[in-house]
Amino acid sequence: MRLGFLKFDGALVKRVGKSKRDGMLFAGLLKLSNESNIPTIAECLETEEEIAQAKQLGSKLGQEYALGKPAPKIPPGSGSKGESPRPQGRA
């Protein structure tokens, strides 16, 4: 069986900066996933600091309000101040 992606629950992602053990677990699983070419998604990225931290540890994709409010369909050209909407897969 080949995994399409590995999604990290927000409960773990939120503890990365608060718990050395959880940070090491997250970083280790990200490293293993990246070395195995398994895309990862980090949930609950609500601040720029959390996005930067997830990126620094090796996360390539993320989701939550800091990356864009969930919507059934993103209309072309939408986004704040006429900018293009931020992709949901940025971490």
The answer as to whether 18 is a domain residue is yes
The total domain count for the chain is: 1
Domain of residue 60 covers: 6-82
The answer as to whether 91 is a domain residue is no
Residues 6+ apart with CB under 8 A from 68: 74, 85, 86, 87, 88
Helix (H/G/I), strand (E/B), else coil: 30: helix
Gap between the Cα atoms of 8 and 50, Å rounded:
13
Gap between the Cα atoms of 79 and 85, Å rounded:
4
**Span 33-90, pLDDT tens digits:** 999 999 999 998 888 888 888 888 888 888 887 677 665 654 565 454 444 444 455 5
In what helix (H) or strand (E) does residue 25 lie, and over which residues does it extend?
Answer: helix 20-35
Say what the pLDDT of residue 51 is: 86
The answer as to whether 88 is a domain residue is no
Its pTM stands at 0.66
